[in-house]
Copies of this chain bind each other. A is one copy, B any other.
Amino acid sequence: MIKHYQELIERALEEDGAYADITTLSTVPEDQQAQAMLLARQVGVVAGLTIALDVFRTLDERVEVEVVVQDGVTVEANAVLARLHGSARSILSAERVALNFLGRLSGVATLTAQCVHVVEGTHTRILDTRKTTPTLRQLEKTAVLLGGGYNHRFNLSDGVLIKDNHIKAAGGITQAITGARRMAPHLLKIECECETLAEVEEAVKARADVVLLDNMDIEAMRSAVMLLRREAPYVLIEASGNIGANMTRLAEVAATGVDFISLGAITHSVPNFDVSLEFA
């Protein structure tokens, strides 16, 4: 297992009292073996199966797992995702934590895939944001990739994205971009949020590498894209704001020709993917 997730799994198992599962300890014989299946209960894209299986093996390294479906695969309802064999007690005590990871992450991948589907046929990519669950970002961003989306910067240390409050604090778009150019590591591009065409023009003049069209209506967005393609063809264009997982709006934004649409909803407002564990 990637060592990076070990600690997270262990904290989750402790949180759930999995090492002191009194129901299981008092109803299931110590030496009872069981076969079990992880089952999808709906259509969607699987994500988090690897970590879910690691949950069982973390609780009890003797639990054997057979992966039936890889992370990233689209499944039908009632598809078998994996089979488990081992101590009935261990399987039952780890079940809920495993399903909590699997349900959340497959939910992210499935919702992402739905959004990606909407923009198919355009060159627009669906991006995630930093609006992720605290301490689960790496897992959720991986689920976005599995759903066909792309990752925006991982965090504040690995990308420059100048937002309205930075602009206010710096005294203007030009000042903000100039400051960033002077101090940020030379391997980072500079992205600047703009809400009007005037701001877009100022950002381009100040030599932004990427422009983020925030909260613009479709008409303004279309104008901004035209302006940028004409005057600064090397500049990348991202759109965001009030799009959520509204599929109609998403299609309209993609049709404006932006390079990227970033969506908070694919990580912060995710319906759980329905999965269950059944004893054979």
A166 and B100 contact, CB distance less than 8 A: no
B26 and A4 contact, CB distance less than 8 A: no
B134 and A15 contact, CB distance less than 8 A: yes
Q: Tell me which residues from 162 to 185 in chain A have a Cβ below 8 Å from any Cβ of chain B.
A: 162-163, 165-170, 175-176, 179-180, 182-185
A100 and B134 contact, CB distance less than 8 A: yes
Cα A169 to Cα B28 with chains together (Å): 6
Cα A22 to Cα B134 with chains together (Å): 20
Q: Is A21 an interface residue (CB 8 A)?
A: yes
Interface size on A, residues (CB 8 A): 100
Which residue in chain B gives the minimum CB-CB distance to A139?
A: B134
Q: Is A233 an interface residue (CB 8 A)?
A: no
Cα A192 to Cα B163 with chains together (Å): 30
Closest-CB distance, A35 to chain B (whole angstroms): 11
A sample of 18 cross-chain residue pairs with beta-carbon separation below 8 angstroms, ordered by A number, consists of A15-B135, A16-B156, A21-B156, A23-B156, A23-B161, A23-B184, A26-B180, A27-B167, A27-B180, A32-B169, A93-B156, A104-B134, A159-B187, A168-B279, A186-B189, A187-B189, A187-B191, A265-B272
